[in-house]
Structure 1
Amino acid sequence: MTLLLDTSLWIDFTRARSPAPLKQFIAPYVLDPAAHLAEPVLFEVLRSARPEEARLLEAQFATLPCLPTPQDLWQRAIALGQACRQAGRTVLSLDLLVAAVAMHHDAILVSFGADFEAIASVSALRLQRLNRPG
């Protein structure tokens, strides 16, 4: 079983102001040997990190394997976006990219994000949608 941890987990797990119970809730996913990253997640987390944050994040990310990006990622994301739109939902572009990587690798996408439910409803995305404790 392969888990792809979405950006929402990493933001809550690494943000200084996140409550300790939330970080404790996320920790087992981050420490799971099946946990993986994907390039769209790395991009989303690191693009706005301050230099000192980026160094810490990159050190943590280096401990996890990264799922290779499929060559046809953009076409897969377009098809997912169109399927969502036909179902009356507009989904964020990066979420479509993350979902496409997860589906390519038959990974379970672990996320707090509601947009992934829309993607899963029109595709074979395997989703473990989490709810923040509290």
Structure 2
Amino acid sequence: MTTVRDLMTPDVRCIPATETLDRAAQLMRDHRIGALPVQNGDGELIGIVTDRDIIVKCVAAGHDPAKVTAGDLAAGAPVSVDVSADTSDAVRVMGEARIRRLLVLDNGRPAGVITEADLARNLPAEQLADFVSRVYATG
């Protein structure tokens, strides 16, 4: 059985809810990533902020990313799986939630992320095609 630990990109970067979106964008640029899990002051995951969120929900909406915080955009705990989950479970969760990044937790703490690129490099063509059809389906 292949687990998500075998597929994930380790060393996930998180951002405090109080950090501004301009700083979030800088971290994404510097680490060449497209999403940051958001943690409150207690370290609890309260959401995830993506590069697209910053553009669509902040910049395009006329807000100043130097004044809007990651916590302002975070909406509920991010979708996640445990490091011991089977790869097929991760793909199913991503497909059902129609997401392209899946947070991987180890004892409730961020351990890594599974991205579309991770799936493309590791999944058989049929399983990848099923994932793509679910995530990018219209309607």
Do they superpose with TM above 0.5?
no
Q: From the CA coordinates, give the structure whose radius of gyration is larger.
A: 2
TM-score, structure 2 as length reference: 0.28
Where is the helix percentage greater, Structure 1 or Structure 2? 1
Where is the strand percentage greater, Structure 1 or Structure 2? 2
TM-score, structure 1 as length reference: 0.29
